[in-house]
């Protein structure tokens, strides 16, 4: 019976060792499950934050597009006004030159008439 008892004792020790290993593995699986759930929660929060940032970026992009359009329109109007102003200055300058030429011709004619009248 000593062989049976020693075999039973060895079998019990082996079973106890396996139970201990199973308990250790079970504890590791439990810890890893908690870590995994925590990481899933963090990942979901990060995804929500990224989605919120994406929405804010789209709104910012829309505002920038509106501002770019406004700046382009302002540039167009300033260019148009500047062109009109330059055209008006050229016209005034040409008119002054033409008036000076006409006045010069009139003075010359007056001078000739005065010389003829003497």
**Token pair of 62 as six digits:** 């829309």
On whether the pTM is more than 0.85, the answer is no
d(CA 83, CA 1): 119
Residue 76 has a CB neighbour count (10 Å cut-off) of 10
d(CA 94, CA 108): 21
| Tens-digit pLDDT profile for residues 18-76 | 999 999 999 999 999 999 999 999 999 999 999 999 999 999 998 888 888 888 888 99
């Amino acid at each position: 019976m000593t062989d049976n008892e020693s075999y039973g004792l060895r079998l019990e020790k082996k079973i106890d060792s396996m139970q201990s290993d199973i308990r250790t593995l079970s504890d590791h699986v439990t810890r890893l499950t908690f870590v995994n759930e925590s990481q899933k929660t963090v990942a979901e929060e990060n995804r929500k934050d990224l989605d919120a940032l994406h929405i804010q970026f789209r709104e910012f992009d829309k505002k920038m597009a509106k501002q770019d359009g406004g700046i382009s329109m302002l540039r167009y109007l300033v260019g148009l006004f500047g062109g009109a102003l330059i055209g008006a200055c050229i016209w005034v300058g040409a008119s002054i030159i033409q008036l000076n030429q006409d006045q010069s011709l009139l003075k010359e004619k007056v001078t000739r008439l005065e010389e003829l009248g003497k």
